[in-house]
Amino acid sequence: MQVDTSEGRPEADLPRIIRLYRYPVKGLSPEALPWADLVAGGTMPADRRFAIENGPGRFDPDAPKHLPKIVFLMLMRNERLASLKTRYDDATETLTIERDGRKVAGGQLTSKLGRQLLEQFFAAYMKDDLRGPPRIVEAPGHSFSDVAAKCVHIVNLASLREVERVAGRTVDPLRFRPNVIVDGIPPWSEFKWLDSEIGLGPVRAQVWARTRRCDATNVDPATAARDMSLPALLERTWGHADFGVYASVVDGGRLSVGDALAVNA
């Protein structure tokens, strides 16, 4: 899903939120949202609520804790996941999986039978990458993010344009797995927000870290091709491999596409 990064668009004139995304199952495709209700100390609704454990189980749903992403199927090593397009229905808690426009699997993530159907699919589809039988896991209130803290990930479209300029090609912002894409601010200015609060529409968030990128960004989310070396490009050009920032929600509210971005508010 490509976002237009061309100059001269009206929405780039003022700092604002231009896209919202969540990733209900870690490593699987994003879902664009028109709005999201955020709560203090939380993530985007249902963001990384589920994950697919790769082989022998280490995640204990009765005592959930943050585990390294290598425990789960994920794009850094399992780029074949990007060939799948998934949809999560909140009302039924059902995941639908499509490949090449055709439904290939589906099941209710919160039922034993539904998980078994999906696990059987991943056992066959990802067989060359598995260390053992895959297991779909979750725990109430837990998020399978790459970082232990519950947060949202923010990407600046102006910074992406700089990456595109250096790379000499279009770069899909979804390579960076953003929750919030903002525009209308200078490139790399998001790094100046560290240890500060920003306003995302009615939401206030504390920015606390730059996002160090891994090889997952080298995978094209539309084609599943491992066709770039983005961390190396960032390091070679700007002396770091960071892109995007993490922020914790301080005051919640309904965040919508088109809402204003307020820095040092």
Question: pLDDT band at 2, cuts 50/70/90?
Answer: very low
pLDDT of amino acid 6: 44
Residue 259 carries which DSSP code? Answer: P
Residue matched to tokens 């969540």:
22
pLDDT of amino acid 11: 47
Q: Is the dihedral of CA 33, 37, 40, 42 positive or negative?
A: negative
* Nearest residue to 182 (alpha-carbon basis) of 265, 251, 259: 259
Predicted TM-score of the model (pTM): 0.93
Residue range 149-192, pLDDT digits in tens: 999 999 999 999 999 999 999 999 999 999 999 999 999 999 99
pLDDT of amino acid 57: 83
Extents of the domains making up the chain:
10-23+148-263, 46-137
Q: Which two tokens stand for residue 68?
A: 């390294």
Measured distance CA(167)–CA(247) in Å, rounded: 27
Residue range 133-151, pLDDT digits in tens: 999 999 999 999 999 999 9
Average the pLDDT over 102-115 and give the result: 98
pLDDT of amino acid 10: 46
The CATH superfamily assigned to 10-23+148-263 is PK beta-barrel domain-like (2.40.33.20)
Q: Which two tokens stand for residue 74?
A: 């994920």
Checking if the pLDDT of 5 tops 60, the result is no
